[in-house]
Structure formats: C-alpha cells, structure tokens
Structure 1
Amino acid sequence: MTPPPSRRRRTGARDTAPAHNLLRRGAVRRAQVITTYGVGSLIAVDHESFIVSGLDDADGSWNHREAPRIHERRLERLLEVDHFRLPPASDEDSTDGLRVRRFPLMHSCPECNELQRHRDFAPPPGRSVCGTCEKELVPSRFVVACEAGHLDEFPYWQWVHRSTDRGSGVSGKCGGRLMMRTSGRTSSLRSIIVSCTCGKVPEVSMEGSFRRSALKDLGLTCRGTRPWLGGTVPAETCGRPLRTLQRGSSSVWQPVVKSALSIPPWSSGRADPLAGHWEKLRKYDDRKQIESYLDAVFDEPWPLSLDDVLTLLAAEREEEAEGEAAPSFDHRYRALRNKEYERLRAGNDDSEHTRNEEFVCESPLGDGRVLEPLGVTGPMLVKKLREVRALKAFTRLVDAESTSDATEVPLSAKPLRWLPAMEVRGEGVFLRLDEERLGLWEKTEAVARRAERMRRAHQRILDQRASDPTRAVLSPASPRMVLLHTLAHVLINEWSLDAGYPAASLRERLYADDAMAGLLVYTATSDSEGSLGGLVAQGEPDRLAETLRSALRRAEWCSADPLCLEAEASGTSGANLAACHACVMLPETSCEHNNVLLDRALLVGTPDDPALGYFEHVARH
C-alpha cells in the first residue's frame, strides 16, 4: 500500500506557512506506524523509496503535542519500558515527525538506462530525476537482507562481474558504468538485463538472483549494515547468508506487536502519575518504606493515597507468572492474558465507574440461560474498553511468532525506555464455552485426530521458519483453540452481514488453554465504526443465540464445497482444513493467527461424521 502524496501546505492568515525543518514526503496514519510502516520498513512515496528511521533522535523530532505519552502499566512491565508514545500526528501544521532516509540508494534512469547511486545522477534539490535526461528515477526493485535483520543494496556490480571477480567485494574497479534495461519480452526476471560498459563481461539477467544460494555462490555474506539508523552508526559484524528480496516484499519487514487490554485497577488512569516509579516501589514490602519513598519523590498531596499504591502493587504481584523463578517472556505474556480472562469473566458491574474508567464490562440484562442449550455460557457486554498495541521490535525473513529465538531487531541503536504504540477505544462481546461439555467433546477420538493433523502441519511450518528447529515454539493448535478460533471468525462474518459492521472493523482476542475457553470480539478501529453501542447490543442473550444459530447454519456450507469441506489440507502449508476465503477467513487485521488453524468441521461436523462438530446439535436443528 502506498501512502498518500504530501498535501500542499496551506498558508496561514498572514500568508505564512507552518515551519518544517525537513522536506515533507507524504503522510501515513498513526496505526500504520505500528503495523505497516514502522521503524526499519521500506515505504514508497510517489516514485521514491525510503526507509523509516530509528528512534534515537525521536525525543527531539517527535513533538510532545503531536506524539503524547500514553500508559498501560501491565504492558509496560511486560516490555520493560516506562511509557509509550503515540506516533506523531501528520497535520498541515505539524512539525518534523516520523523521519525517513532514502533507501535503496541504487536507482536507474528509464531514458539513459544508467544504474548508479541516487546522488551520482546529480538530481536538482528536492527532486528525484536524472540530471541529464530529467526523467523520474526508478529506485532499485531489489534489496538483500539476512535473518539478523540487516538490510543492504543488491550487489549489482558483483552480479555482473561474477565470471571475472567472484566475491571480491570491490565494485567499480573496472572503470565502467552499470546499465539496466528491460527487454520487454516477458514479465519475468529474465527480462531485466544488467550490464557494464567496461566491455569485459557479457550482460546478464536477474534470473536466478532469488535462489537461496545465489549470493553465497558469489562469496558474498552480510556486511551488517543498518541503513535505518543512519550513516553514523557503524555496521555490525555479521557474515550470515544473504537473501535477495523484492523491495515491497512482506519478508523485508515484519512487526513484533504486543498488546494488552486496560483492566482494573489500572484502567482508570490514576496510576499514570507514578509511571517510572513502579519498579522502585516494587522493591518495598513495608508500608513505612513506601510512605517514605512517596514523601521523597512527591510534594503533598501525593498523586495517589498510600492505600491506592498498595492496592496497585498487590494487583501487579498477583499477575506475575507462576511456576518459574525467572519466567520467560512467553510465560509472562500468558499471565497477562490469564488476568484479562479473569476480569472479563468477573466484569465490574458493582464498581463505581468514574469518568476516566476505560473498562466497563457488565452482565447482559437478558437471561443468559437461553444460551446453555448451545453450549455457550457467561456472555458479557464490554461496553467500554481500551487496547494498547506497542511495536516492540521487527524481524526480516524470520516470522517472530514462529520461533523462540527469532532475531528481534531493536528500534534504536541505544536502549530506550519507551516504545511507539497506538490505543484503540471501543466495545465488544465476550463469551465462553461450557467447560464440561467442551471437555467431553475434545476427548472424542475423531476430534483429537483431526486437530492433531492440523497441529502437525502447523508445527512443520514453525520448524521450517525457526533458525534452530530444535528450539522452535510449539504449535498452539488444540481442539478447543481451533474451535474458538473458527467460532470467532464465523461470528465476525455474521455480524458484518447482520449488524452492518465491516469485517475489517472487528477483531478477535482468544483465550484458549487448559484453564480458559473464551473469546472476545471487539471493535478494532477508533473511528465512527468504533464505539457506538451497536456491537454491545449484539451480545444480549436472545440476540446472541439467534446470531449463533444463523452463523452455524451459514457455516454448514461453502460455495467451494465439497472441495472445501473434504480438503485434506488448506491454507498456508496445510495448517487449515475446512476453511477458505469463501467461508470463514477474515481480513488479516481481524485475526490474531494470520488465518491459520481454522476448521468448519469442528464447528458443525461433516456429512460423514456429524459428531465432529461441537455445535452439531444446533446446526442440524
């Protein structure tokens, strides 16, 4: 997706333009800075290409009015930061915010066919055109990257001169100039021809440049370059194998995003004034010591009473992962989800909601027993919620969710005590499955066998993507996880048809392990589709029961049946079974698991084995 071109700057009442220190190059939405165009990613603006700069200078360039601080203590503790910051707003009068650097530097001219660095074309200031032909320059379509997250220019000179000077790593010594043209015969890499005017080597095509061993065969390894950090930051020692990538490939940049719901007692914002002090306060167990610390740091009156501080500290200790002296990040993240599940089950009906309360979860007015015949229990109306999504790091080539030792690339050269984040305010519906009935169903041999088939296929993917297969994370696929995941998808699809919500404006949040069996469907956008009460109204038991029956009847068939229902494997590397874009798949912004681990058969069964479906008795009647 290409961001919109920069808008023309309007002049003020006195015909003065807003002050900008740097030339403005387009605009992106705040949410895109977390999910699409974050630090280290490549961004196309008109005919130019840039890489989003690191955060080392962001404290100076991110105006605090345009990029305010936000807090979510539970997520701050998990990610070991003091606060988060919203990405800078992009308005007509905004100052320098999200900074970018030109990358790749190699460009070609479609008129004279020269291939060289951008500055060597001698373009006029502020423009990206050939100084001789005055044609728009074309950024290199190809870059190289390694699994450690480094990014570099494609080695065109070595590629052309591979027959004469393999692996020398010295470019330009032949005295010639590189040229690039397109033969126009096909749309394949074979039609992209690179040559050198030295006349010592024949012209070559780009065919074969994407082979895993293509650059290794030239004796080239990663130089450890990090262009998003600027020229003053030295390259790291690396030497890993390089892979050729298309500039716009999703493998060039993948975000590592972590999120949390704001739940009591942290959801009222009263703890925010103590941000940055909690780690020190946690060291004290004695009431007098905490009182002395508050006296030393704050003038009277304190931002919070001593009892409030003790209550918050107790809540924080209660959420700590159990069972390990030094719990891993995954254990701590699961503990965070467990506490959300408990709060969603309990709600806060009896609490006195203050004006600043960000979490309001209440039991529906209707009789929830109408859902019991469906195998669903505990519906809750989340009338108000806040989710904070933080960009922790990013990866290249390696999917960060698929391996326990994925190389996560930090967003800055020096450690920072904050991360960029966005917040979503909206509403949602939470429901659980009947534990007793679910326990009997998931022990059925046919159900367990079908889920195991998906688990093995998914585990193969995780093993292949892991840099060390022996340390790959285990697949979360289980009968209840696949069931909850597929149920969330059919509910989102049903509400998009019946309640007028676009599927992309709804999002799932799954709570599935041995002690949890619930799902939250909530509004994923904060605009006019976010919090108008329409989704909460769908959670009243009578309406929810009707929605479930309709969604399950719709899930019984697919326009791709019988191929879809009878598929032995579908989706990415066979990680799905009866699931396709015509039935249960969603926009990827709505799905926590990238549309894998889905199976309609575990919802409604199959014609040959109806008992496979948890909701078989509902779908058939």
Structure 2
Amino acid sequence: MSRTPVGEIRPSQLLWTYGPGALIDLPNLSVVTMGIDRWEKDRCQPIQEARLLANVRSVLGPQVEALRMPPVGDGDPVDPFSAAALIGVPVKPFPRWLRCVKCGLLSPYDAGLFRLRENRYRPELTRFVHEGCRGSNNDQRARDADAVPARFLMACRAGHLDDFAWDWFVHGGPSSCRATLRFFESGASLQTENLWVKCDGCGASKNMAQAFGQAGRDNLPACRGRHPHVDRFEDDCQEAPRAILLGATNSWFPVTLSALAIPQSGDPLSQIIADGWTFFEDIRSEAEVGLVVKTLKKTAQLPGIEQFTNERIWAAVENHRAGGSTVEQSDLKGPEWDALTAANPPTDYPHFMSKKVGVPKGFSSAISGVLLLERLREVNALLGFTRVESPEEGAGDEAAPRAPLGRSAPSWVPATQVHGEGIFIRFDSAILQTWADKAAVKAADERLRQGHRGWRHKRNLDPEEGYPGIRYVMLHTLAHMLIRELALECGYNAASIRERIYADVEDGNDQAGFLIYTAAADSDGTLGGLVELGKPENLGRLLRQALERAHICASDPLCSEHDPSKDQSLHGAACHACSFVSETSCERGNRHLDRSLVVPTLENPDAAFFETI
C-alpha cells in the first residue's frame, strides 16, 4: 500500500466528519477513509472510560477491548515524508470515475486514461491528469488537463456507497457497448436538466435529471452492497440506491455514544486506578509498579498518578482487583445525574471539579440548584455510521442500519476526549409536574406526539417509540435559548458549546435539569468564561435575556403557528431564528423543540413554563 500523503485533517474530524467510510473532498482529489482494521492500532493512544466502554460493548459485542484516539504522527512536521510524519489514516481515491475538465472524458482512474501526478512538497495538490488532451474540439495542440472526481454517486439506507452506474444509466441497462463516455453541459445553468452524459460509440445520451426521484428508481440498477472503506460487497441488499452528489451531507452520519467522566469512588487514588485499570491489570508485584508509573508520566495518560508512592499504588491495585474491575452496561446519564445532584459532588482532579452556587434571584420557584463544573471530561466513541438518513436517537434504534467500521467485529473503536467546563441547572420536579398537568400543556404535548408518530410512520418505524416527553421538550428548548445567549458572552464559539438534557421520568426516575458545557475538541476548553457566567448575578441576567428574546421570533407569526401534527415534524414553535443551534451542540439534531412551552407565544400563550419573567 502506498504511503503517499494526500492531505491533512484534524484528529477530531475522524470521529465527527471524516471517519471510516466517509468521503474527504480534497482540492483536486476525493478519497474515502479506510476501515479501522487498516489503521495503525499501536499509534492509537487508549482512552480510559470504563462506563462508556461497557456501553460500547453492549452494542458492538464483548470483543471490544478499548477506546482509542485516532493515530497522530510524532515526527518533524517540516518533513512531511519522514517515517513518523506519515502516521495517519489510510485512504484511497473514491469515486473511481473521473472527468476531464477540458474534453469531458468520463472514465475510471484505473482504466489507463488518467495518470496520478504527485506533489512531494505540497501533498494537497496531488491530482489526476488527462495527458495529451485535445479539448472538446479536438485541437491540434495537445495539452495535459486536470481530471476531477465525477460528482455523482449512488448510496442506500443500508450504508452502501458505490460509483454512479454511468454505463448502465446512459445505455438504459446492460449493454455490450464499451466505448468511452463524455460528460458535458448544455446550458448556462448547472441544473441537472442541463448536465448530460453521452456515449462516444453508440451516441446514446441522457441528462442527469433522470437519475433522481421516480425516474432515478427506474434508471438505476439494484444496489451492489458495496462498502468501499473495507473493499467488500454484500449480497442481497434490499435497499433501493439513490443518486447523491459528492460532498452531500447525507453521505455519512456518525453513530456515536458519549459519557462524562464521573468519579465513581471517593478516594482519588482509587479513582485513578479505576480510570486506568488497563495499565495495572497485569501487574503482579510492587516492583512492577515503578515501571508502569514511569511510562505513564512520560505519556501523561493518567494525570495525578505521580502524587502517590509505589507502595500506595500497589495497595490500591490489590484492593481494586479484590473488589472486582468489571463495570456493567447501564444508562449513561443515570450515574451522571446522581453525581451532579449529590449533596457533596465527588472530585476527581483534574477530570471533575465542581462548585455549588446560589440560584439566580427571581428563579428560585423553578430552579432548585446550580452547580458550576470548573473541570470536566467528555469521552465520545464512534460505533459506526449511516448514509442517506441520519441515525435515530440512541444506539439501539433501527431507523437506519449501522454500517461497520471495519471488515470484522472491531476489537477497539475510535474515540476522542474533551476537557472543558460547564453549568448544571437543576429544576424543581414538583413545579414541572404541576406545569405538565395544565390543559394547554397537555394539548401541546398531544400535538408533538402526533407529529412524532407521523414522522416515524413515514420512515417505517414504530410510531409509539422514541418520544422523549413534554418535560424533555421544555428543558431542551430552554437549554437552546441559554446556549445562544452564552455564546455571545462566554468567549467560545457557538459550535463549541454542547448540552446534556436530564429528563428521564421512567422506572422511578425523576430527573429535571440540563448541563451546558464546552466541547471544543482542539483546545483545552477551560478558559473559565462559561463558569464565570454561571454565577447567580450573571446567570439570572442571561436567563432573562433568553426568555425576553424568545417571546417574539423574527419568523413570527409563521414560527409560532407551526403545528407538528399537521406536517408530521418533530418540533413545534422553533426555527433557526429563535431556537435552533449548531447540530454539533444539540444532542437531538434540533429535534423536539417548542418555545411555546417556555414562554408565551402569539399562537399559544397558555402553555409556557415561565409565564412571567
């Protein structure tokens, strides 16, 4: 396998944007990220988070041994061709079909008509060329012309991705014609009606508008079950392929799980041993402790371990082994809620540090507590991905089949960790229940339920599953309003602020609160700006501003009149002008929102939780 670099991306993007199976559209080249079985595992540093690992195992199987960060080179960045600098993730060109920008020649790159021209000193400029191209008018003077990836692909809901079936499409099915194809434009507009593909041999032609909609279902072949990131074809795919554009956002959706690193032990050393048990589980004597600790100090993988003697560490290892080291799969948010609402929240320096503050003046009837998280750590794991349709909330939902990360069941999964800060706000559950019993709130709840049922019914899903409840919708909407206000003052960009909503009322639970925290993957995320705004005098002002802005939306009256039961959508009075945030910030992809549940609106003044400010 060639080790030629072709570009650069940030490590965090290998989890959220360009993971296994995703397309990376470089300036002159398009490539697909290969499966994790082709990654250099030894270069992927492990991340310790037992609760998240247990939940990943419950989804992918017990063979998953670790969460690991994407590989990062440690060589001299000045020399991109040094052995260490070449450490990264393997990719291969995809789609195979290329188009000459001068003559429109359409052909696979491995057919011999195009040549890869590498750029040793600027890898991002590596490109394919059509040597000796004579242009569309067969010019006498031949020149090299760039060849760019064909912009059309085929994908299906089962996660398969394939080259567009150009020969099948232009000939209307299987054909013995093996002549070259040309791609050209027939008008000034780039609408699909003006984009044509033509066969040089038999003269057959067809415009690209016939590749979409009902015409596309008639003109495209059955799905071949192709997974280009693992070089595999799956038989008997029952999903109908559809044409998509290269770079389309629906070509790859990550399926992830995330968890906060919540201390599970009151003893700091015991917590460190539990967090890094994979480093200590094979130790059989105190003499071996020093070697392990020396390595951990060099790699800084377990901050705080250097504070303890080898004797104390060995005693903690023995104690942990005697007590058992297995963490069972459970609700990820349950332990977090317990820790955040504890009378004395636990501390695990430097991963979890908190401080209780007073409730903002004027909000004591609704808010029962505020906790400032001066340090927190979030770990995210990639389970797979979907195409065409985004995954439903929760890893077990079968809305869109999850495509694999590699050729076989993975023994590890890619993960990232973020150190940041946050504000946790707890609400009075009794007040929330009284509000939920109001007739106007029940009517709004029914409209949202009907929209949810219709939305799932259109996707052949169980219509009675997945609705989070009216309490969740209200808390979720308020969290969005507060995120929008915080982004204006805290020093972080809006996409770096995330949420975790705690609103579970099933099986005896009575959660009522949310956590807003920083999640900037490429920085430490602990500037202190968010915590500072969580102090009573600042938080009260921001809450009032958020509620005041939400009364009138720039899209009113259309926004406030939106009825999810009529258009089978997942949100009520909510839009980009008033309640939506960056999708990297929202745990539900801007679904299940309705500002009429938070403040009175023009259409529904009676269902608001905050009737007055």
Partner of 2:494: 503
- The answer to whether the Cα contact below 8 Å between 1:85 and 1:421 also exists between their aligned partners in 2 is yes
Q: Shift of residue 107 of structure 1?
A: 0.9
Q: Is the 8 A contact 1:111 1:135 kept in 2?
A: yes
Q: Which residue of 1 aligns with 2:204?
A: 202
Corresponding position: 1:475 with 2:466:
yes
**SS of 1:411 mapped into structure 2:** coil
Match of 2:551 in 1: 556
Q: In the alignment, does 2:45 pair up with 1:53? A: no
The partner residue of 1:304 within 302, 307, 316 is 316
The structure, 1 or 2, with the larger RCO (C-alpha pairs under 8 Å, 6+ apart) is 2
Tell me if structure 1 keeps the 8 A contact 2:453–2:568: no
Rounded Cα–Cα distance in structure 1 between residues aligned with 2:344 and 2:378? 17
Q: Could you say if the C-alpha distance between residues 572 and 261 of structure 1 is closer, same or farther in structure 2, counting changes exceeding 3 Å?
A: farther
User: Cα distance, 1:432 vs. partner?
Assistant: 1.4
TM-score, normalization by structure 2: 0.82
Partner of residue 122 from structure 1, selected from 114, 123, 143? 114
Instruction: Give the counterpart of 2:351 among 335, 358, 373.
Output: 358
**Number of residue pairs matched by the alignment:** 546
**1:143-222 correspondence to structure 2 within 5 Å:** 143-162=153-172, 166=173, 168=174, 173-199=176-202, 201-212=203-214, 214-215=216-217, 217-218=218-219, 220-222=221-223
Equivalent residue for 1:414?
408
1:131 counterpart = 2:125:
no
| CA–CA separation in structure 2 for the residues paired with 1:303 and 1:461 | 56
Secondary structure of the residue aligned to 1:136 is: strand
Shift of 1:604: 1.1
Q: What SS does the aligned partner of 1:604 have?
A: coil
Asked if structure 1 preserves the Cα contact closer than 8 Å seen for 2:154 and 2:162, the reply is yes
| Aligned CA distance change for structure 1 residues 240 and 303 (closer, same or farther; 3 Å) | farther
Q: Mark the runs of 5 or more structure 2 residues left unpaired by the alignment.
A: 58-63, 119-126, 134-143, 290-310
Relative distance call for 1:296 and 1:63 in structure 2 (3 A) is: closer
The answer to whether the Cα contact below 8 Å between 1:347 and 1:362 also exists between their aligned partners in 2 is no
Query: Do 1:121 and 1:132's aligned partners in 2 also have CA atoms closer than 8 Å?
Result: no
Matched, 1:441 2:435: yes
In 2, Cα distance between the equivalents of 1:369 and 1:240? 53
1:399 lines up with 2:361 in the alignment: no
CA distance in 2 between partners of 1:429 and 1:83 (Å) = 30
Question: Which residue is 1:484 aligned to?
Answer: 475
Q: How does 1:513-552 map to 2 (within 5 A)?
A: 513-514=504-505, 515-526=510-521, 530-552=525-547
Alpha-carbon distance in structure 2 between the residues aligned to 1:506 and 1:52: 28
Deviations 1:309-334 (A, max 9, x none): 456758x35xx5xxxxxxxxxxx4xx
1:245 to 1:607, Cα distance in 2 relative to 1, 3 A = closer
TM-score of the aligned structures, taking structure 1 as reference length:
0.81
Matches within 5 A, 1:276-425: 302=314, 304-309=316-321, 313=325, 316=327, 332=330, 335-346=331-342, 348-349=344-345, 353=347, 355=349, 357-364=350-357, 367-368=358-359, 370=361, 372-401=363-392, 403-404=397-398, 406-425=400-419
Q: Report deviation, 1:125.
A: 4.2
Shift of 1:374: 4.5
For each residue in 1:198-244, what CA deviation from the matched residue of structure 2 results, as whole angstroms up to 9, or x when unmatched?
22x532111120125634x35721222221113xx455443532211
Letter in structure 1 aligned against 2:353: V
Root mean square deviation, CA, Å: 2.9
Residues 373, 423 of structure 2: 8 Å contact kept: yes
Q: Give the counterpart of 2:273 among 247, 266, 270.
A: 270
The 8 Å contact of residues 273 and 280 in structure 2, kept in 1 or not, is answered as no
- Please state how far the C-alpha of 1:614 moved relative to its aligned partner: 0.5
Q: 1:207 to 1:297 in 2, by over 3 A?
A: farther
Instruction: Give 1:33's aligned amino acid.
Output: L
Cα–Cα, structure 1 residues 412 and 475, in superposed 2: closer, same or farther, change >3 Å? Answer: same
Which residue of structure 1 lines up, in the alignment, with residue 250 of structure 2?
Answer: 251
- Choose from 62, 69, 72 the match for 1:89: 72
Q: Deviations over 1:74-126 (max 9, x none)?
A: 11111112211111236725223111111100111122221111133231543
Q: 1:529 to 1:336 in 2, by over 3 A?
A: closer
Tell me the distance in 2 between the aligned counterparts of 1:604 and 1:151: 45
Q: Separation in 2 of the partners of 1:544 and 1:254?
A: 35
Cα deviation for residue 155 of structure 1 reads 0.9
| Structure 1 position 455 matched with structure 2 position 449 | yes
Specify the alignment match of 1:583 in structure 2.
Answer: 578
Q: 1:496 to 1:439 in 2, by over 3 A?
A: same
